[in-house]
Structure 1
Amino acid sequence: MKFLPSFFTIDFFLLCASSFLFFSSFNMIIPELPAYLTSLGGAEYKGLIISLFTLSAGLSRPFSGKLADKIGRIPVMMFGASVCFVISLLYPLMSFVSGFLFLRFIHGFSTGFTPTGTSAYVADIVPFQRRGEAMGIQSLFGSLGMAAGPAIGGWIASIWPIEILFYSASFTAILSILILLKLKETLEEKEPLRLGLFKLKRDELIEKRVLAPSLVLFFSVFSFGVVLTIIPDFSAHLGIANKGLFFAVFTLSSLGIRLIAGKASDRYGRIPVLRAATLFMMGSMVLIAFSETKTALMGAGVMFGCAVGMNSPTTAAWVIDRSLNAYRGRALATMYIFLEAGIGIGAVVSGWLFANEVENFKLVFLTAASMAAVALLVLFFVKEKTRFEDKL
């Protein structure tokens, strides 16, 4: 009996390693950004740290999806990682509020491109009946990066000036790029890059086939935007020195369940797994709202991680199930548009509700719980179509 699944080839492993480094790069700096922006005199703009990032990511998705289907998966991944490399170097040079916010907007193009190409690449090289499992493994490596990045970033920031943190993030991104150079392109009929590819028709903006899973994702990840924006301040409020600790805890807790959820969704269907994920999301937000100690917050982080771990690979597999091969990049881009919108709106709303007043913490997280409840409600009205593998 083989220990590794048959689809775990050298290309799949390299893709996973690159994903780990990519997610480590841009997540490394997140826990320190609220305090950094405050030091620049922009405390009232904390909600824009994540929302600007997700706005540009969402705006770029239709382009990255089309380009992934036209010029190839690898160039799209390379561009996103390159944005991480360059922007991280520029943060220390634009140390004023407007400059910082501008860079946050540009930085978002990284996640607007790389994950789209990555998911399409995985779908290309993995058999139809193993997609849930494969997405679980690939997202596991991304989650490891999301866990390692904030933890390492918090450690770096506690010892060295924040400039060193930005340079470390840039160095991590260049390692991701070097690995991508070793991959073989999977798009068989590629087109040369030309200006005309950046002109989008109305039907190229959104893939209607995947609107149902994308809508569920939108309401589910609202909580993620809240966590990214508010948890650093909430951690400080509870006396937790390392603001990246909660991020490390929830990401690590998501690792094992990603593999289980991926296999379960292959066997029992996507919707039952997503119903469980949204229940866990609701519960975690309620627990955070009433957390008064470090232990309670970390316990809620474990539950939140389980929700994220079930949601991510299952939704991606559901989207791929519903997409046509010729428009796989567009379908995944649509999913990510709703993802970025949910996170971005969650960030803005939470920043507005919080308003730098500690008594508002409970309101913020209970609002997030209510949005997860909406996602659960939608899942009881959506029917999972019979899976098929189209011949296009």
Structure 2
Amino acid sequence: MKKQKLWTKDFLSISLSSFFLFLSFYYLLVTLPIYSLHELNGKPSQAGLIVTIFLLAAIVIRPFAGKWIELYGKRIVLISSLSIFALGSLLYYFANTMNGLYLLRFFHGIGFGMATTAAGAIVADIIPESRRGEGMGYYAMSMNLAMVIGPFLGLTAMEQWGTSVMFSICIFTAFFSLFSGLIIKLQKPVKTSSKVVPSIDNKGLRGLFEPTAISIALVAGLFALVYASILSFVSVYAKEIGLIEAASYFFVVYAIVMLIARPFTGRWFDQYGANVIIYPAIVCFASGMVLLSMADTSLSFLLSAALIGLGWGTLFPSFQTIAIQSAEPKRRGLATATFLSIFDIGIGIGSFLVGVITTKIEFSSLYFFSSFFILGGLAVYYALHGKKTSLKNKNESSEPLLKANG
């Protein structure tokens, strides 16, 4: 049987668009708190709100974005959201007060939330069904690469070239994301009469959330609590243990391992199913956290990055693929919105909890105990999804025997 094509123009375009979108996100994630403290004379607590307000806007808007995708089509929502995001990037030049920056961050977060929802729904339709795990893995890789490049580029721009150049680069990345989105060509949705009575699926909360995606989204949100401690605080921890020079290479190693593993893990997901990939990835993630908690040399610190990159870098696209596959094709936009909203809530809560917990215990202890939390996630995944997958595979494998005996 001929292998279905994955690397189409539309797939490359949506991956590039997401890469530049997330590049801008991570770029501002590390630079705006510093900008608010040094340029706007803000307080540390105010600087923390810059990230919270942005994510809050994205979380609030995503269910509505999923609904709008059903009504108006994926491409219209994508282009509209990327336009909002690009406009928001232009306005940073004029945000000269903390309150003005808060308002802009909320506006910018709306564009981000809509764009990530629409892009996830589009890529789910573009990827061939037989290569869904592989394709989603490569798509997620574009976002993970942005996580590596964005902070490095942002801090370099701020330190070497100043605020004006920093915001100019932000504008460039946002508009490149919009340009890549404009290249995408999708089939226009079939127009329906305005007199048609809305489907029961579109009424109430079911019109804003996709129920089939909630269970796996809760699993992802659970692991996001721990991942938030890596994303936001691993550089702080590195400074504490005297490995600040190695900190800049943490996500580089993370990305390299992820790049090497992605072609294999994606194909294995498609060939053997989710459980074969997810259980080992959870153990790998937990092992990386244990090693990170005990790291006292650059080698052990970066080896933990490799294990975490292999573990979490496999888990996230696998969870998102499950969320999309569980939903009907027409509700993939809502499934993506539901998944990302719950995941972002996990990141937000995790960042807050880490800030509170580390006033009581050291980062090394936090990372060590987090590994047990991750291993506990094995049971949660099994209860919410893994058990159903095992039963389904067992039934499918027994069908040929039943037919033969029949």
Instruction: Name the TM-score class by shorter chain.
Output: 0.7 to 0.9
Q: Give me the identity figure in percent.
A: 28
Using the alignment, how far apart are the partners of 1:162 and 1:364 within structure 2? 35
| Equivalent AA in structure 1 for residue 86 of structure 2 | F
Task: Kindly indicate whether the alpha-carbon contact (under 8 Å) linking 2:4 and 2:130 is maintained by their aligned counterparts in 1.
Answer: no
C-alpha displacement of 1:156 = 1.9
Using the alignment, how far apart are the partners of 2:287 and 2:85 within structure 1? 34
Aligned twin of 2:175: 174
Aligned twin of 2:254: 250
Using the alignment, how far apart are the partners of 1:367 and 1:83 within structure 2? 41
Bigger mean CA deviation after superposition, 43-52 or 5-14:
43-52
Bigger mean CA deviation after superposition, 258-267 or 278-287:
278-287
Using the alignment, how far apart are the partners of 1:149 and 1:368 within structure 2? 26
Task: Kindly indicate whether the alpha-carbon contact (under 8 Å) linking 1:47 and 1:347 is maintained by their aligned counterparts in 2.
Answer: no
Task: Kindly indicate whether the alpha-carbon contact (under 8 Å) linking 2:20 and 2:176 is maintained by their aligned counterparts in 1.
Answer: yes
Q: How does 1:82-121 map to 2 (within 5 A)?
A: 82-121=83-122
The answer to which structure has the higher helix fraction is 2
Question: 1:297 aligns to what SS in structure 2?
Answer: helix
Task: Kindly indicate whether the alpha-carbon contact (under 8 Å) linking 1:217 and 1:339 is maintained by their aligned counterparts in 2.
Answer: yes
Task: Kindly indicate whether the alpha-carbon contact (under 8 Å) linking 1:210 and 1:335 is maintained by their aligned counterparts in 2.
Answer: yes
In structure 2, stretches of 5+ residues that fail to align are 394-406
How many residues of Structure 1 are paired with residues of Structure 2 in the alignment?
Answer: 380
Aligned twin of 1:362: 364
Task: Kindly indicate whether the alpha-carbon contact (under 8 Å) linking 1:29 and 1:165 is maintained by their aligned counterparts in 2.
Answer: no
Task: Kindly indicate whether the alpha-carbon contact (under 8 Å) linking 1:132 and 1:317 is maintained by their aligned counterparts in 2.
Answer: yes
Cα–Cα, structure 1 residues 285 and 191, in superposed 2: closer, same or farther, change >3 Å?
Answer: farther
C-alpha displacement of 1:332 = 1.3
Q: How does 1:291-310 map to 2 (within 5 A)?
A: 291-310=295-314
- 1:331 equivalent in alignment to 2:335: yes
Task: Kindly indicate whether the alpha-carbon contact (under 8 Å) linking 2:246 and 2:302 is maintained by their aligned counterparts in 1.
Answer: no
Report the TM-score, using the length of structure 2 for normalisation: 0.83
Aligned twin of 1:26: 25
Structure exhibiting the larger radius of gyration computed from Cα positions: 2
Bigger mean CA deviation after superposition, 43-52 or 117-126:
43-52
Across the aligned residues of Structure 1 and Structure 2, the Cα RMSD in angstroms comes to: 3.0
Cα–Cα, structure 1 residues 302 and 322, in superposed 2: closer, same or farther, change >3 Å?
Answer: same
In structure 1, stretches of 5+ residues that fail to align are 388-392
Question: 1:181 aligns to what SS in structure 2?
Answer: helix
Cα–Cα, structure 1 residues 316 and 162, in superposed 2: closer, same or farther, change >3 Å?
Answer: same
Q: How does 1:158-237 map to 2 (within 5 A)?
A: 158-186=159-187, 188-189=189-190, 201-237=204-240
Aligned twin of 1:10: 9
- TM-superposition CA deviations, 1:208-266 (whole Å, max 9, x none): 11222111111111223222321243344435369654333323332232222211111
Using the alignment, how far apart are the partners of 2:120 and 2:151 within structure 1? 23
Structure 1 runs of 4+ aligned residues shifted over 6 Å read none
Question: 1:41 aligns to what SS in structure 2?
Answer: coil
Task: Kindly indicate whether the alpha-carbon contact (under 8 Å) linking 1:285 and 1:369 is maintained by their aligned counterparts in 2.
Answer: yes
Q: How does 1:62-73 map to 2 (within 5 A)?
A: 62-73=63-74
Task: Kindly indicate whether the alpha-carbon contact (under 8 Å) linking 1:121 and 1:186 is maintained by their aligned counterparts in 2.
Answer: no
- 1:276 equivalent in alignment to 2:275: no
